[in-house]
Chain A
Amino acid sequence: MIPAGRQVAGEVCNDCLVGFGVERIRQDFPALQVRVHGKPLVYLDNAATSQKPQVVIDRITRYYLSENSNIHRGVHFLSDLATQAYESTRDRVRQFLNAAHDREIIFTRGTTEGINLVAHSFGRSRVRAGDEVVISAMEHHSNIVPWQMLREEKGATLRVIPVNDAGELLLEEYERLLCDRTRLVAVTYVSNALGTVNPVKPMIAMAHRRGIPVLVDGAQAAPHLAVDVQDLDCDFFAFSGHKLCGPTGIGILYGKADLLESMPPYQGGGDMISAVTFEKTLYNSLPYKFEAGTPHIAGVIGLGAAIEYVQRIGLPRIAAYEADLLAYGTELLSAIPGLRIIGTAKEKASVLSFVLDGIHAHDTGTILDHEGIAIRAGHHCAMPVMKRFGVPATARASLAFYNTREELEALAKGLHKVIEVFA
């Protein structure tokens, strides 16, 4: 719900970049007005988390001000209100992903918890000694470590799809890795460290030809691409609210209903049961079977407002605008002497990861911060991919639809200053 009297960005615009109205969109984000070290904030750390529009902040405030109650429990007015807001978000998420059923949408704490849920529930019940899980060389630690833990517990094997020097997955190698022992493919849609957009749809089709289910880590995809889980035909899709203009601590796991039905619960507690005696517990039906305990109700409602906001602008328009920004940023950064972009895939989204000759990313980050420019410096929770490219760390500028060409020019100017300090 958008509070009355507040205009939502993008309503007046058509699908042309000129009419994208980024300056109006920026007005929706209070944090973008912050000044850092006396300079206007240039926020280019969106792959870590996005800023929140006023409508999301207002919606969460309204919940706590006038709707606060537990869900699925009370017969009273407020509980009914909170339950409706909570469940209508589930339906909004279903539409957002184009899932077939509301019961396929599980609220989690974030992408990491979604993947852990699948590793614990699906993984522990289906993976045996000698079985294999296929991941890729560009996974975030959250799509590596849960599978390693499963490997340790079950005596399974992890297979890793290699990447080329541009940061693209080698699909022939991928196909060779798929075999009778493969129980699951878990792969990221968009790489947080390189920006590569992986061809997940054909990859899913390749796995399905062998009857292997596929989990897609959608943490970096959901904010930048229109996702259709039925078109992709993925079996699981996990993403986080906070990278999508929503609050932290809330995320989504989509799973195909028949798979989720066949999986044991992940955590035990309230809401996930239908009847409990000391002898036996009957588990609740989907999706509640996977939502033990009082959930992050305010977070769910805030996420609903965030998705509504993003949908009003429209992901196809966001993707087109960001593609233009990315191309411009790539051009500006490529002109800087001694700068090497890490991740040059043909299909990329929103991420400019780079190293400067003789200058550590951490120093780059500190000096840019003094110019008011927020980037990430480090291994981006993807140490194996850093190793693949022979760098201990990169500096990463990651874009959102509220960034501007002027901000990318400020970044380029800031990088010249970094080089000056180290000259």
Chain B
Amino acid sequence: MSDLSDLYQQVILDHYKRPRNFRRLDEANRKAEGHNPLCGDEITVYLHLDGDVIKDISFEGAGCAISKASASMMTAALKGRTRGEAETLFEKFHEMVTGHRDGTADPAGLGKLEVFCGVSEFPVRVKCASLAWHTLRAALEGSGGTVSTE
């Protein structure tokens, strides 16, 4: 049986209650909105891209603990990383939360984001965990539209 404490880990609850980089980014040159119509989660991801490097990143929005904590920890993990690194991290993250990876501890280099591995036991919450990342991808691609999980 999936364990509730695997999902609602202290780190996740901490990021939910005190989200990092939770603000509008005035110097942003990329931005995208994400929406999960199933539960009403809404998020805006702001990026300050300097060439290929994510110089700064922030987010705003409302959502459940999983989606908000995921957005918060994503911004913390990506500051100073390159676009390519961000893409790779998203792929690894997605494999982890959808339960499509094999193997032992942290083979993917996800670091603190490993805390979301419990999500794979809660299939209906995968969209919550990945909303921020889908929105990030839209911001990186500069498509400017609204991303929806549906």
Interface residue? B4 (CB, 8 A): yes
**A359 closest partner in B (C-beta):** B65
Number of A residues, CB within 8 Å of B? 20
Interface residue? A148 (CB, 8 A): no
A361 and B66 CA atoms in complex are apart in Å by: 12
**B36 closest partner in A (C-beta):** A362
Interface residue? A242 (CB, 8 A): no
Q: How far is the CB of A273 from chain B (nearest CB, A)?
A: 39
Are B8 and A377 within 8 A (Cβ)? no
Are A363 and B4 within 8 A (Cβ)? no
CB contact between A38 and one of B1, B13, B125 (< 8 Å): that residue: B1
Within 8 A of B (CB), among A115-166: none
Are A379 and B122 within 8 A (Cβ)? no
Within 8 A of B (CB), among A354-381: 358-363, 366-367, 370, 377-379
A386 and B42 CA atoms in complex are apart in Å by: 14
A360 and B7 CA atoms in complex are apart in Å by: 15
Are A422 and B40 within 8 A (Cβ)? no
A419 and B126 CA atoms in complex are apart in Å by: 23
Within 8 A of A (CB), among B36-50: 37-42
Given contacts A360-B64, A363-B65, A363-B66, contact A392 B41 (CB under 8 A): yes
Q: How far is the CB of A253 from chain B (nearest CB, A)?
A: 28
Within 8 A of B (CB), among A312-360: 358-360
Interface residue? A201 (CB, 8 A): no
Given contacts A37-B1, A360-B64, A363-B64, contact A422 B39 (CB under 8 A): no
Number of B residues, CB within 8 Å of A? 21
User: Footprint of B on A, CB under 8 Å?
Assistant: 37-38, 358-363, 366-367, 370, 377-379, 383, 386, 392-393, 421-422
Chain A residues within 8 Å of B37, by CB? 379
Closest 6 CB pairs of A and B: A392-B40, A360-B64, A362-B64, A393-B40, A362-B39, A363-B65
Interface residue? B73 (CB, 8 A): no
Are B7 and A366 within 8 A (Cβ)? yes
Chain A residues within 8 Å of B62, by CB? 392
Chain A residues within 8 Å of B124, by CB? 366
Chain B residues within 8 Å of A386, by CB? 40
Q: How far is the CB of B94 from chain A (nearest CB, A)?
A: 20
